[in-house]
A = this chain, B = another copy of it.
Amino acid sequence: MGRPLRHPGARSPDLRMIMSATRSGSEPSAALLTAASLASQAAGQGTAMHAFCTQLYPMLRSITGQGVRDTLAAIGHHIPLTVTEVPTGTKIFDWEVPQEWVVRAAWIKGPDGRKVVDIADHNLHLVNYSAPFRGTLTLDELRPHLFSLPDRPDWIPYRTQYFKRDWGFCLTDRQLQALEPGSYEVCVDTDLVQGSMTFGECILPGDSTEEVLVSTHVCHPSLANDNLSGIATATWLAKTLAALPRRRYTYRFIFIPATIGAICWLSQRQDVTQRVAHGVVISGVGDGGQYHYKRSRRGNADIDRIMALMLAESGEAHEQIPFFPYGYDERQFCSPGFNLPMGCFSRSTYGSYPQYHTSADNLDFIRPEHLERSLQLLLTAFGMVERNGTYLNLSPFGEPQLGRRGLYSLIGGHNEGQKLQLALLWVLNQSDGTNSLLDITEKADLPFGLIHQAAEALLNCGLLGEGRTPV
């Protein structure tokens, strides 16, 4: 600014010292959650996250069944997880929990008696939720049950038929073209039984009963980006947040089958939905595409603004997408009866890349560094969620004397100090009880971390009070 500072003070205080001093009372957690300290915990986690995906890849997941249970068990080795089984036939809003799918074997033997397709080779070979069948068919009779991708002759497509009692096989187009006329023996050794639908929850209690809800689906078999990347990232997020000595919000991570699983969870946890203050669906965060955030139905919820701010501060190329009522499970969480403040965080979006829902969405398609970066960005966003608040300037008539409280940087102070000084003035000027730190950040066009740092310093000095409890 060039104008001489009027309050040089006897000695410049070390602001980090002021900030780390224990403040009596409410928010010791916040001090721990500096942007750096929380997000930095992502460092080096990519390799372990990718290894976890590798462990989960072979499991045969569907919207029900053993694959989901095995997946949840693996997650439970990393974070505290509660598993809920909802019996077949249970009424869940407009739906019922379907029969559980049991798979023992599934193959087709060719005219020469050799297996031409076998689920033992790849989970995607069997159309998901295929009903049991045993028989011998001509190639022509068999064809309507076979699905391939002619323009991607080496990839196996992923298909489901949850609500149609039928069976089918997916194979590469090269496999399909090689089939010769003749007699084919088909074995679909599956069952649809009275069982249950399974979901997992990891709850990390916080100072408040208000919750941050993180959802990812667990129903895709042997697909890496569209499923495993979300599971691994959500698991590591939970693991990192669980290690904090204290959290302001209660965090709930849910691992659910898509669509009907989301509807099932919503019907079983209607009381919880009342307490969701912020939320995010995580999906497709391991590939190399640019980041996308799809806003909640509300359009301008705090989580929407925080994600926008975090992505802008991250320096990553990214795009924000307005809400639309299809895509991932945000379509359920944002149905009009709930209208939760939840968007969807992803790299490449739903259905936008050729590998999507094919065997090419494999463990090579996702990279440790992409998983790690996604974890880091989400931790940064949750750091903002934790640290945002609305305060009250307790000395609102003119500017208070920052100098005698040691808050003013020295004459000719370094650039960072000048920015902090602006942040102090912004926080004081705007803290009339209506503006959150997020609001102030948007107006001041300064980093959120700096605004929060200023607010902490002012809280420690008694110049700022709790205007409105943040949750």
A interface residues (Cβ-Cβ under 8 A, vs B)? 1-4, 6-10, 93-95, 158-164, 259-260, 262-263, 266-267, 297, 324-326, 331-332, 334-339, 350-352, 356-357, 393, 395-401, 403, 422, 425-426, 428-432, 444
Contact = CB atoms under 8 A, between A and B. Distances in A.
Contact of A266 (B95, B351, B398): B398
Given A336-B429, A429-B325, A429-B331, A397 B266 contact: yes
A54 B187 CA distance: 80
A271 to B, nearest CB: 13
Chain copies in the assembled complex = 3
15 contacts: A1-B326, A2-B352, A4-B357, A6-B160, A7-B163, A93-B398, A262-B398, A331-B399, A334-B429, A335-B396, A335-B397, A335-B428, A336-B429, A336-B432, A337-B396
A356 B162 CA distance: 67
Contact of A325 (B159, B297, B332, B425): B425
A109 B159 CA distance: 93
Nearest to A421: B326
Contact of A335 (B6, B162, B267, B399): B399
A147 to B, nearest CB: 10
Contact of A163 (B266, B403, B428, B430): B403
Nearest to A392: B336
Contact of A398 (B161, B337, B399, B400): B337
A325 to B, nearest CB: 4
B163 A8 contact: yes
Closest 8 CB pairs of A and B: A337-B396, A2-B351, A325-B429, A337-B397, A263-B398, A336-B432, A94-B400, A325-B425
Contacts of A6: 160, 162-163, 259-260
Contacts of A396: 335-337
A428 B325 CA distance: 9
A173 to B, nearest CB: 17
Contacts of A352: 2
A327 to B, nearest CB: 8
Contacts of A266: 397-398
Contacts of A324: 426, 444
Contacts of A397: 93-94, 263, 266-267, 335, 337-338
Contacts of A326: 1, 422, 425
Nearest to A422: B326
A398 B4 contact: no
Contacts of A160: 4, 6
A336 B428 CA distance: 8
B94 A398 contact: yes
A9 B398 contact: no
A428 B339 CA distance: 12
Nearest to A333: B398
A161 B260 CA distance: 70
A266 B397 CA distance: 8
A350 B398 contact: no
> A95, A263, A325, A357 — which one has the most chain B CB atoms within 10 A of its CB?
A325
A401 B2 contact: no
B2 A357 contact: yes
Nearest to A424: B325
A332 B403 contact: no
Given A395-B93, A397-B266, A401-B94, A431 B4 contact: no
